[in-house]
Structure 1
Amino acid sequence: MSFTLSRDNYAFDDPCRKPTQTSTCSSEDDSSSDHKRNNSHGDVDMSKPFFNPAGLNWFVTGLFVVGDLAGGGIVALPTAIIQAEFWTGLIVCMILIGVVTYTAYVLGLSWNILLSTWPEYRHHCRKPYPEIGGRAMGPTCQLLVSICIDVTQFGISVVYLLLASKNIQNMIIAFSSGGNLSFCILVLIVAACLLPLCFLKSPQDFWWAVVIAMMTTSAAVILIIVGSIIDYGTCHEAAQLPPFKTTNLFLSMGTLLFSVGGHSAFPTIQHDMKQPKEFTRSVILAFTIMAFMYVPVCIMGYLVYGDSLRDSIIPSIQTVWIQQAINILITIHCILTLTIVFNPLMQEVEDIFHVPQKFGPKRVLVRTGIMIAVVFVAESVPTFGPLLDLVGGSTLTLTSVILPCLFYIYLNAYKRKEEATGKPGTGPVGWRDVFTYNEKPTLTICIIIIIIGLVGGGCATFSAIVELTSTQFAVPCYVSVFQAKHNASAAQTNCCGPFQNLTTYKGATCSDPNLKFYL
């Protein structure tokens, strides 16, 4: 069956409209009448902007985006900045925030082009991002985008599950007088508690969860700054940067991209807005909030702790009640944010197995299976730092940096060509049209961003693979249970200084030092 961009033939050739399968962009009840709309657009008035009265307003959507992005990345971001020798890392971080703000903007414009051109996208759509890729560059690209998004969301889910479990383990150690519970068992418990939230259909069904997640992250940022100020007197004079390594710079880029890239879910969020055309406002609000969150945390991490920071800044906060309050807040964020991170992946798999959009046993079965797969990977790679770098440098770079620009210049060229000729297109435009119908500043910016993404993401991915398979290798949980137990320190505080033995409070117990973390 051929794929075409012609609006006049969507009832037969659109990948969302195949009569032999359930539509990915259809009305709520998936009834056959949805497939009988003819090429006159039915009762859809395409001259008016899309409006969903039950959707999210632009302000809540902006908070939704913050909740989607901030949290897991913010605790690892200071470490990434230290890896890149602070000033270099801080400059790269600010550049990346600007880049991803622009790519989120053009991704939103791309979805608006679909809404204004093809009426089927004005109903519930399970896979908006792949549909953007399909309309821009054809069905093969649509499939590749689906695979890329699935891998990205799956990897992020594993990282967040590991981070939440690690934080809970630290809380147990802090509040149970030295008691401990196996990290591997905690992964199972957290996943089981999270599973019921994953049965909700789409972002507009759980907007409250991610708004709460954004609020907990904001509170965590304030506490990180307060805790760092308390530790400043003891740790600042001894703080130092690790020796510069090129591989560390590339690894830091993976973490930075993980911290600011979450575009896989953006079209899903935008689709659930009252007025998707206002997504630009949401993007500006979200990344402005994130910049005000990230920069102070990174500066304090550098000034106070230096190279005594490890995977997360939380254990370096030496006031125990502040440290554990941050733990609780970030854990809440991770658990709630997983609801939106899981959602595009789950809807994709549901479409493959033709699961009805109404709640039922098939949804429960499919989403439980996905959770089991995530748990298996988490138990296989029980360290979130290198895995975070790998996801950030590979598929997340594609979905957050490269593909938004690539799809926009194709879709924009298609739209402008249609307006110039007065005729609907008959297929994806070619490179000649891309250069002809896009404005030169837009084309230049997008090409530069694509090149940056290819070079930076490729180097970051290679460095993360080397790190994951060598210096940061951790024994899988299902192997470690058969090995002799190592009696490591039960302390949860990483002390500061060049030998990681300086504490703010006399009598405090330091965790085992790791002087080779950046080597």
Structure 2
Amino acid sequence: MANGGAPPRSPSYDSADFEQPLLRAHGGLQPGKGPPAARDHEAQCSPLDGGATSLRTCFNGLNALSGVGLLSIPYALAEGGWLSLVLLLFVAAVCCYTGQLLQTCMSASPAVRSYPDIGARAFGLKGRFAVSLFMYAELYLVAIGFLILEGDNLDKLFPGTSLSFGPGIVVSGKQLFIVLVSIAILPTTWLRNLSVLAYVSASGVLASVVLVFCVLWAAVVDGVGFQGKGTMLNVSGLPTALGLYTFCYCGHAIFPTLCNSMKEKDKFSKVLVICFVACTLNYGSMAILGYLMYGDDVESQVTLNLPEGKLSSKLAIYTALINPFSKYALMVTPVATAIEEKLLAGNKRSMNMLIRTFIVISTVVIALTVPFFGHLMALVGSLLSVMASMLLPCICYLKIFGTARCSRAEVALIVMIIVLGSLVAASGTYSSLQKIIHEF
């Protein structure tokens, strides 16, 4: 057998088609692989001495887990009530554990380098397709959420703005800003080298801290105070709350990449725990602050509640606007690349630009049709994030290693997560769709 007796690598584990777009979208790459643009991006993520340090990996992990979910976390708490904070801790613990399962799955074979590879290892090409489908769908819907968020917050900054396109055609409010933002974002989606955008998106961790500080400043200094009493438990709102809580921890797609980038991969488990603890403290702080300030009247984005004209409010909104603007292209790039590969567009620049333009237009249409940020993010969290962050890691782990190699306690825990995750996915998806339909 060739290569010194080593078995040939199975085609089903070849990650080139799926992994590179995903890694470009999230800001990480395998050392030494990918096109020149990808290697430029890699230089940011891994030092030249053979891998990223634990500190750098921790920062990358925090950036992956810290996102626009921070804006909706007070709304999630309002939906579920004070006692639903226990569910936030539960979701954080479960997602951290399933992240550890992904790391263990990677140890099954050197060929496993990405999340789709784990699906392929467990279920072959069908597994790769299923994992990729859920990830791409999640990225596409998150990009739509970015446009809704931009429109809402810009309308808050510049109320009453309108634009006339002729007799009887006037576009105003957040619909106008969604269109304008999409026009400004469109050229960034045409870039093949996203290294510049990766530098900007790395500001996510700092932006998350600044947002919490601004909300605290509005309460203590700008006179908002802590007047919201809230409710202890709202059973009918628990599915929405769970969906939003899960959306906050949907970083599993890049955990394999972060692990591969480390010099000392055995320390990844500790890095993962640190990331989840730090993000949970940040999310919990924002949830408690926002709910104490506005109670059940808190908006789906807490920035929409902040007093107009105050410096803290403007800083919070501008900070909230930066990340979606910079990360939109990073979200749609893997979707676009997958379509380009399917259509054999290759390096045909005009075809690639046309495909990406069509994707942007489609997200604008959906954002204008379903302009409900909280409900959309709850749907993404319930349907897609639960699958990617809870169910698929558990199912793949049991398939790869089998129940015979796991302890009874471990199998019982994994089965419990699968059952509870399925209930959350079913109830949350139904509740979110029901609320979206009710809004029309």
TM-score, length-normalised on structure 1? 0.69
Distance 1:395 1:59, change over 3 A: same
Distance 1:371 1:228, change over 3 A: same
For residues 406 and 125 of structure 2, the distance between their equivalents in structure 1, rounded to whole angstroms, comes to: 23
- 1:110 corresponds to which residue? 105
Larger Rg, first or second structure (1 or 2): 1
For residues 280 and 268 of structure 1, the distance between their equivalents in structure 2, rounded to whole angstroms, comes to: 14
- 1:14 corresponds to which residue? 12
8 A contact 1:153–1:264 mirrored in 2: no
Q: Deviation at 1:469?
A: 0.5
Q: Deviation at 1:200?
A: 5.2
Match of 1:309 among 291, 298, 301: 298
- Spell out structure 1 runs of 4+ moving beyond 6 A: 202-205
Q: Deviation at 1:7?
A: 7.3
Distance 1:214 1:196, change over 3 A: farther
Larger RCO: 1 or 2 (CA < 8 Å, sep 6+): 2
Show CA shifts across 1:268-327 (max 9, x none). 555566666654344233222212211122222232221121212113222622112100
For residues 202 and 106 of structure 1, the distance between their equivalents in structure 2, rounded to whole angstroms, comes to: 32
1:419-458 maps to which residues of 2 (within 5 A)?
434-458=402-426
Q: 1:8 aligns to what SS in structure 2?
A: coil
- 1:186 corresponds to which residue? 177
- 1:460 corresponds to which residue? 428
More deviation, 184-193/326-335: 184-193
8 A contact 1:76–1:255 mirrored in 2: yes
- 1:158 corresponds to which residue? 144
1:133-282 maps to which residues of 2 (within 5 A)?
133-173=119-159, 181-199=172-190, 206-230=197-221, 235-236=226-227, 239-241=228-230, 245-267=234-256, 270=259, 278-282=267-271
Distance 1:298 1:199, change over 3 A: same
For residues 48 and 267 of structure 2, the distance between their equivalents in structure 1, rounded to whole angstroms, comes to: 12
Distance 1:25 1:99, change over 3 A: closer
Match of 1:341 among 331, 338, 343: 331
Distance 1:94 1:245, change over 3 A: closer
For residues 234 and 269 of structure 1, the distance between their equivalents in structure 2, rounded to whole angstroms, comes to: 41
Q: 2:419 aligns to what SS in structure 1?
A: helix
- 2:23 corresponds to which residue? none
Show CA shifts across 1:213-244 (max 9, x none). 221121111111221224677552xx232595
For residues 298 and 89 of structure 1, the distance between their equivalents in structure 2, rounded to whole angstroms, comes to: 11
RMSD: 3.4
Distance 1:111 1:363, change over 3 A: farther
More deviation, 323-332/299-308: 299-308
8 A contact 1:223–1:326 mirrored in 2: yes
Which AA in structure 2 matches 1:158?
Answer: I
For residues 467 and 187 of structure 1, the distance between their equivalents in structure 2, rounded to whole angstroms, comes to: 22
For residues 52 and 136 of structure 1, the distance between their equivalents in structure 2, rounded to whole angstroms, comes to: 33
% of aligned pairs identical?
20
Q: 1:14 aligns to what SS in structure 2?
A: helix
For residues 91 and 409 of structure 1, the distance between their equivalents in structure 2, rounded to whole angstroms, comes to: 27
Q: 2:9 aligns to what SS in structure 1?
A: helix
For residues 233 and 170 of structure 1, the distance between their equivalents in structure 2, rounded to whole angstroms, comes to: 17
- 1:84 corresponds to which residue? 80
Q: Deviation at 1:54?
A: 7.8
For residues 60 and 79 of structure 1, the distance between their equivalents in structure 2, rounded to whole angstroms, comes to: 32
Which AA in structure 2 matches 1:449?
Answer: I
Distance 1:175 1:250, change over 3 A: same
For residues 269 and 109 of structure 1, the distance between their equivalents in structure 2, rounded to whole angstroms, comes to: 14
Distance 1:233 1:339, change over 3 A: closer
Distance 1:148 1:71, change over 3 A: closer
- 2:274 corresponds to which residue? 285
- 2:341 corresponds to which residue? 351
Show CA shifts across 1:75-104 (max 9, x none). 111111122121x21111111111111222
Q: How many residues align?
A: 406
Q: Deviation at 1:29?
A: 6.0
- 2:314 corresponds to which residue? 324
TM-score, length-normalised on structure 2? 0.81
Match of 1:94 among 89, 96, 102: 89
For residues 108 and 189 of structure 2, the distance between their equivalents in structure 1, rounded to whole angstroms, comes to: 30
Match of 1:410 among 395, 399, 405: 399
Q: Deviation at 1:53?
A: 5.8
Distance 1:210 1:462, change over 3 A: same
Distance 1:156 1:253, change over 3 A: same
1:62 is aligned to 2:48:
no
Distance 1:453 1:354, change over 3 A: same
Distance 1:207 1:85, change over 3 A: same
8 A contact 1:68–1:210 mirrored in 2: no
Q: 1:79 aligns to what SS in structure 2?
A: helix
More deviation, 52-61/139-148: 52-61
For residues 62 and 194 of structure 1, the distance between their equivalents in structure 2, rounded to whole angstroms, comes to: 29
Q: Deviation at 1:375?
A: 1.7
